[in-house]
Structures are given as structure tokens and as C-alpha cells.
Chain A
Amino acid sequence: MSGTESVAFDTPRRERRADTFAMWVFIGSEAMLFGAIFLVFLVAHIDFGPAFAAASKRLSLPLGTFNTAVLITSSFTMALAHGLALHRRWRATIWALVATAALGVCFLIVKGIEYGKEIAEGLAPLLGLPFRYAGPDPVHAEFFFGLYFAMTSLHALHLIGGIVVIAGMIALWGAASPANRLRRVVAIGLYWHFVDIIWVFMFPVLYLINR
């Protein structure tokens, strides 16, 4: 009835408010997930500070910095999409969304290159790959790289989820009413900014702890 997706709502406006609220609740939930992982990292860092600092220097700062810039730019294009959608400039909105997703893919490619480099250098203690590390305290350096792969891949998974949702939105764009288009852009926008912010915390914690 009256252009809402859920039968529970009378007006699209109320439904959009509910959507936004739901996304905030979801973000609260996600924050607890990443919070727990960050806490684990923090505890380990307190215990093995020097080993972690030394291991951190083996990460690629240029690639990490580049990726941070890429993600911040994607947040900007996402904000652009939101603003354009509010003014019902749908074609421009689509282009902003495409740009956001493309930047996300770019981030993943760079991250993949980085992973490849680390695997080639023997810094990936995964799946029985050889771990070669010349610095002090290799045991805890291995622990650092374990956490590094766990945290960054969890973040990458969230990013992939966001890209898939954007792709799905664009695919269903024609069938959606203007109200639904706006709802979806607002909701995915919130999510995208959140995933971006997680990286903004992760980058200094992993790459910059002792530089």
C-alpha cells in the first residue's frame, strides 16, 4: 500500500526512518564485532609490543596509505550519491554509486597485491605456508601477521558485501520506486561509511603502531 515495501508502514517517510534506524542498530552490532577483535589485538599488543612494532614495519606503508586514500574517496562519492538522490537526480546517483563500487574494487585489488607480496615474502602464517621472518621474536611476529590477516580479511569481507549490495541495487534500479531508491541509497551509504571508518581505525593500528 502507498508505495511502501513493508505492509507494516503507512507512509514511505516512516519506512525510511525505520530503515535508517535499523541500519544504525546494525552498525552498533558490527561495532561490537570489530570491537572484540580490536580488543584482542590491543591485549596482544600490550603483551608483545616490541615484536608487534617490528613486525608492523614489514607491512607496505605506501600500499596501505594508497588504500586509505582510495576508501576515503569512495566515502566521498557515496556521500555524493546520497546528496544527488535527495534531489532525485537518478542518473547522476547511479554514476556516483558506480564510482563508489569501483573504488571499493580498486581497494580490494590493491589489498590482493599486498597479500600476494606478503605471501611471497613468507610473511603469511596461513594454511601451512612457510613463515620466514628474520627479525627478533619470530613467534610473536607470526602472531602479529595472523591477526593482521584475520582483521584485514574480515574488513575485506565487509567491503565485498557492500560492493555486492551496490551492484544488486543498480541491477534492480529500474524496478524500484523513487522512495525505495532513496531508502536504499541512504541505508547502503551508512553501511559504507561504517566500513570505511573501520579501515580508518585499522590502518594506524596495524601499519603505524611504531613509526
Chain B
Amino acid sequence: MTNVAMPGTYLGDGTGPRAWLLTTDHKRVAWLYLISLTAFFFLGGAMAVLMRIELATPAGDLVSDDVYNRLFSLHGIIMVWFFLVPSIPATLGNFLLPLMIGARDLAFPRLNLASWYVFIFGSLFALFAVVAGGVDTGWTFYTPLSTLYANGWVSTAAFGVFIVGFSTIMTGINFIVSVHTLRAPGLTWFRLPIFVWTLYATSLVMVLATPVLAASLILIVLERVFGIGVFNPDLGGDPLLFQHLFWFYSHPAVYIMILPGMGVVSEVLPCFSRRPLFGYNAVAISSMAIAVFGFLVWGHHMFVSGQSAYAGVVFSFLSFCVAIPSAIKVFNWSLTLRKGEISFETPMLYALFFLALFTFGGLAGLFLAALAVDVHVHDTYFVIAHFHYIMVGGMVTAYMAGLHFWWPKLTGRMYSETAGRIAAIVTFVGFNLTFFPQFVLGFDGMPRRYHTYPPEFQFWNVLSSAGAVVLAIGYLMPLFYLGWSLFHGARAPDNPWNATGLEWQTSSPPPPHNFETMPIVTRPAYAYDMKGLEHERFSPHREEAAP
């Protein structure tokens, strides 16, 4: 490992397990998260591949119905709470937020480390639930199935999710306080990179929505263990109450998952177009608008649940409203390219693919917000396709864009550009092949969470299953070439992309406390059109940016 740890940088500041496991350096905590989340991503992904293979034929021939139900339940639980919610904030966010605001660390470094341990503690429960026999409630834990009829390790899994919620809240508080109190001199709110804005918006949602999930999970565990029947109709409870509580968290949680991805793309697109982000203020404000509106639309998951038609109409209206800030962002990102000097390195390819997939996934959201159409496609593969376009096509693609963009900063190494571009293209092709057929399946009426299905749906299922294999290859590739670059990659310059953010003004990788001299900010974010950065590209030598 000696060639990974570079003396004088945070990577060389003590090696060995103690130095890593007891670190309070936000950059090392980011690595702890990165490694654990990668493991969960591939665990959840393996379950998805198994499901897709099962669904290649209409009959249930590979796994039994019980096993299939456990697969999709755990796939959802793991991907949502053990990968997507913490994904960008806890890894790239953790690493970059202090660097981007010109701080030595997050406001509460020990809380940051503690959040990782809490995450691991919670994930032990989830992993135990996997090993001990699984959970068959779906990731949504709908009552009364989850409280009275499910026979898996529901309480264990719910408790694990509950614990991980604490880690989320800890991260959220840390980020909010850091952005408020630790910005470098001259770094006003409207000079912040959009990535910081989106992390801030995400943190607000984390802090305010997660406790409601905690409350509903507590009530489920109380019902299972103590017999307190809040959701049990026989005891006067109401199963729909659970859905209200659950979606009051889980809809904002969707924005927890996508907002940081939007932030990453807002960094990458200007850098590789050599243009300032178009409509910076609108993008920043729309991030906050999404966070706020996200709390008001939970009922659109319940149009056919038996809630009143009036509630349905109101929630549909609000759901169309929340589409506006997202649309604004797409227009702004597209116009950022105008009159630029565009080049297509790996991060840019991922960012462009994000733009395409997020746009089409978002447009599919309009179908679901339109009441009469939702009645038809609700709980079908149309919904599956929609949220995978946003969560995987959007969020995971943005995560890959960010990982490749900041990899030189994280590790001080460059990866193989060719391998990176191939992986990006394989992912894009595999993704569309996997999930586009699911839109058709959903419109044709194939319900979700089906272990077997009528034979006329097979054509599209086979396409989707084939795509899943391609997609899996696309996701496995970076594991190898990024891992290889850790040891053998060329040394990265401090600012390989010639980008404007504060994180690029320090060395790659950064020193233990981030900056040799604390930076002072005199320019807006994305000042790619200002003198000194115009037309400069990929200088092999370190740029001495003005402090």
C-alpha cells in the first residue's frame, strides 16, 4: 500500500487500520463510506441481476416465489437506504464540501466519524436480516402485510433502517452547520458551487424527513413486538396512516437521492464546456424549491389507495408544480453548452448521459402525476422504469460522473481515459436496454413485484434481462480500472481539468487540513469566462491559482 499513501498528503498521514478507522479527517471518512457503499451497491446489484434472470421466462423456474419476494425487498432496502441516500453526500459530499467552502474540515469531525460507525452498526442489522432469511415486505413495509402477515425478519431490517437514519441525520446536521459557519472569506451564498447548494438542500430534507420515517418504523416494530395496533384495522388503527407517514418521508427521500446528482452535473458540465453555468441563480433557487415542494407531494403515491379523490387532485396539482424546478434545471444545463469549448472526457460523457436519462425519466414523471394515467400505470413496471431512470440513470450516472471527475483529487492518480469512456458508453447502452422496455411493459399492464407473468409479456422482459447483464458489466468495469489506477495510475496534477472550484486550488491529493494557506474567494462560481482561465486546458503543470 506504500505507493497509494503519498507522503505529505492526507493519504500519507498515518497508515494502518487504526489511522483509518479512528480518523476524524473528512477525506478519510469519505473513503470509509465509499468502500462500504460500493460493497452494498454490488450486493443490491447482484440481487437485481438475479431477479432479471428469473424474469427472462414467464414461469418461476430459477427461484421460488418466497425467494423472489425477498430478493426485491432486500434489493430495495439496500439500494435505497444503504446506497442511494448516503451515496453522493457521504462520499463525494463528505470529501468535497469542506474543500469547496474553503474549510479545514466539517464543523463536527468526530460526529462525522460517528455517523459512519452508526451506518455500519445499522447495516449489520440489515445484513443479518439478509443472511438469516430475508424480508418479504417490499422496501415500502406496507401495513398490515408487514405487521401482521409477513414472516421474515421485518423488525430486524426495520431497526437497521431506523439506525441508519441516525447516521443520515448526523451527516445532514454536519453539512448544514458547516455551510453556515465555515465558508471562506468572500464566499457568499451566491458564490457557492451548485454542488454545495444541493448538498445543503439535501441535508435539510435529511434532517426534517428522516425522523418521520423513524416514527413510522418505531410504530411498526411496536406493533410487531408489543402489539400496539396503530396500523391494525382490528384495533381501530388505519393501514393508510402508515402509507401517509411512510411517503411523507420517502417522497422527500427521492429528492435526497437526486439533488446531489444534480449538483455533480452542475459542476461537470461547465468545466468541460468552459462556460459558466447558465442561469446560476435559477439553478440554486430551484434546488431549494425542490427540497421544499418535495414535502408536499407524498400523496401522489396513493392515488388508488382509497384516499379521497379531492386529496388526489390536490396532490396531483402539487406534483406537477414540483416538476417545474427540475425542468428549469434541464434547460439551464442544456444552454450551458452553448458557445462553449466542449470536450468529452469520461466525467463529461457521464454527465451528458445523466442529462438524457434524467430528462426522459422526468418526462415519464408527468405521466404518473396525471391522475387518470396514473390509475392505469400505478404499481406497474412503468413506475419501476420511471424511478430507475431517475435513481439509476440519474443519480448513479451522476455519481459515476463525480467519481471520475474528482478521482484525481481523491487519489492523486489518473485513470485510463479509454477504459472510462468505454465503461460510460456500456453503462448507457445497458441502462436503456434494461429499463426502456419496462415502460412498455408497464403501459401494457404488467404489475410490479411479479415473480411470474403472462407469456405475452416475455418479449420485453427478455430485452430487459439482457440489458441488465450489459449494465452489470458497465458497473463492474470501473471497479477494475479505478482500482488499478490507485496503484499504477499516472500522478495527477493538482487541477487536471483546469476547473474553477476551491477544491482544485489545493494539491492532489490534499494535505491533511486541506489548504496550506486558507483561501479567500473573489470570484463567482464557474468563472470559466474570466481572464486567466479562458481557453486554458489540461495544463500538465500545476496552475498556481490566485488565492
Contacts and interface: CB of A to CB of B under 8 A. Distances in A.
B241 interface: yes
Contacts of A125: 227-228
Interface stretch (B106-114, B276-284, B326-334, B346-354): B106-114
Contacts of B421: none
A126 interface: yes
A25 interface: yes
B226 A40 contact: no
Q: How large is the interface on B (under 10, 10 to 19, 20 to 34, 35 or more residues)?
A: 35 or more
Contacts of B215: 33, 36-37, 40
Contact of B98 (A8, A22, A146): A8
A25 B245 contact: no
A136 interface: no
A25 B173 contact: yes
B395 to A, nearest CB: 23
B235 interface: yes
A146 B382 CA distance: 40
Contact of A29 (B105, B210, B229): B210
Taking each of A30, A43, A146, A147, which has the highest tally of chain B beta carbons within 10 Å of its own beta carbon? A146
B227 A8 contact: no
Chain A interface mostly: helix
A30 B181 CA distance: 22
B245 A36 contact: yes
A155 interface: no
B173 A143 contact: no
A149 B222 CA distance: 10
Chain B interface mostly: helix
Interface string B210-239: 111011101100100111111000011110
A6 B26 CA distance: 12
B236 A44 contact: yes
B106 A28 contact: no
A30 B173 CA distance: 12
B238 A29 contact: no
Interface string B172-215: 11101110111000000000000000000000000111111011
B227 A127 contact: yes
Given A26-B173, A32-B211, A47 B236 contact: yes
Given A8-B98, A143-B229, A22 B173 contact: yes
Contacts of A8: 98, 103-107, 109, 178, 182
B320 to A, nearest CB: 26
Contacts of B55: none
Interface string A132-153: 0000000110110011011000
B446 interface: no
Contacts of B173: 22, 25-26, 29
A126 B223 CA distance: 10
A33 B169 CA distance: 12
Interface in B75-114: 98, 103-110
A36 B208 contact: no
Interface in A72-114: none
Contacts of A128: 227
Contact of A36 (B212, B226, B238): B212
Contacts of A175: none
A211 interface: no
Contacts of A173: none
Nearest to A126: B226
Contacts of B216: 36
Given A29-B169, A36-B215, A7 B105 contact: yes
A28 B219 contact: no
17 contacts: A8-B105, A9-B181, A22-B177, A25-B207, A28-B208, A29-B173, A33-B212, A40-B230, A40-B241, A127-B227, A139-B236, A143-B229, A143-B236, A146-B222, A146-B226, A146-B227, A146-B230
Given A22-B176, A44-B230, 10 more contacts: A7-B104, A8-B104, A21-B180, A32-B212, A37-B215, A40-B245, A139-B235, A139-B236, A146-B226, A149-B226
